[in-house]
Homo-oligomer: A and B are copies of this chain.
Amino acid sequence: MALEDARVGRRNEAGIAAVIGILKQAFGERFQTGVAYRAQHAHTTTYIPAQFPDGVLFVEGADDVKAAVRTCAEHKVPVIAFGTGSSLEGQVNAPNGGISLDFSRMNRILEVNAEDLDCTVEPGVTREQLNTYLRDTGLFFPIDPGANASIGGMASTRASGTNAVRYGTMKENVLAVTAVTAKGEEIRTARRARKSSAGYDLTRLLVGAEGTLGILTSITLKLQGIPQKIVGGVCGFPSVKAACDAVIMTIQMGVPVARIEILDAAQIKACNNYSGLSYDERPTLFLEFHGSDETVALQSAQFGEIAAECGGGEFLWTANAEERTKLWKARHDAYWASRALAPTLAALSTDVCVPISRLADCVSETQADLEAHGLLATIVGHAGDGNFHVLLLFDDTAADSVAGIEAFVSRLTARALAMDGTCTGEHGIGQGKIGFLEQELGGAVDLMRQLKASLDPDNILNPGKIFRMG
């Protein structure tokens, strides 16, 4: 963690000083201004330099959030929600300074309605905490972005991950939220009904808004029944194209695969080294099927036939929980496995998402690009959604190395956009992809700015993210 503050934005010094005084008075030790706290709350799993907030408030309930936002609103000072700091595009940075609201103490599970398959949680609850809590109910929350992120952060970046191909993203799995607006008022976006046509979809407007339109104070989530049977498996392919063809056929035939992940040969090599495995070093799909004894057997057999047709190797699958856990642990450790390829280098994880028919092209062209530019990187993707990540390892102290990485990300994004894809499938825009959002959506970004200006005219809610104002 670098204790260096790279803030460059316009700071409202008088307002910040006033807010610090008020919050100290009101919250005592729950409000911290020490540099270690400030640094920690600008620190994320990102290559983007940290920009520290001026103070950190450990909120314990919606009333704290309202009070803090009202104070910040009165003095026109930025306020930034912080979950676990696992965002990847600088979402929690404070370019203009301001107050970080730490939600780690707002981690209560408020309500579980098992009959309705829903629950309501505070934003600081993490996905692992929620699933541990739910275990005895026979239910689970399926969204799995890798990191043990907070539900508030996952909602705010519209997270997804390995299970999205079966269960959807946060967009599909948040039923309602409560949020504090820039005026410091708490609103509720929807009731607990499974569907509604009642007015504008404020739930979906706040999901993915990265804390720029309101600060979440509770989230009502859909839950799923824990499948009676889960089987996992692995299948190697002679080429990325062959693996992607198998994915397309699987999706087209409506096989309800729960996970279908692609790892390129470089990633498999890294995983073998890191996790002590011995997979063939070639493009590989990791799969999981959820259902009953009968349905998972059917689905696995269907996939095996598809894989064979696409030139894949034998589809090895297991219902043994321990073996399955080991398999998926290797997949989840892919990030650390790649980092271990060059432990002294910095890492940048970027993602794009394309229509599934273009996934093979996009991955293959990206591999050729990496090779042509001599870049060290691994590729792992949520293939069923057409979404993949490139983890680049580079020397962040060398300007030409950084420039080379930035140029690569530009080419990757241009490639995805040319295929009618998006510049980010699940990481969000934050600070890192502001320019790409304009390339992707053009005039629609002006409309986003209009919405932002109407709900947050003083631009106090997480300013400098998603787009630049004015």
Contacts and interface: CB of A to CB of B under 8 A. Distances in A.
A356 B82 CA distance: 34
Contacts of A185: 443
B208 A197 contact: yes
Contacts of A429: 197-199
A17 interface: no
**Max count, chain B CB within 10 A of own CB: residue among A117, A198, A420:** A198
Interface residues of A, number: 91
Interface stretch (A250-258, A273-281, A307-315): A250-258
Nearest to A298: B294
B199 A225 contact: no
**Max count, chain B CB within 10 A of own CB: residue among A201, A209, A248, A294:** A201
Contacts of A116: 355-357
Given A202-B447, A454-B454, 4 more contacts: A113-B357, A158-B201, A200-B448, A201-B201
Interface in A233-258: 248, 251-254, 256
Interface string A23-41: 0000000000000000000
Interface in A166-195: 168-169, 171-172, 181, 185-195
A423 interface: yes
Contacts of A254: 224-225, 227
A205 B117 CA distance: 25
Contact of A199 (B164, B443, B467): B467
Given A298-B295, A448-B202, A195 B454 contact: no
A354 interface: yes
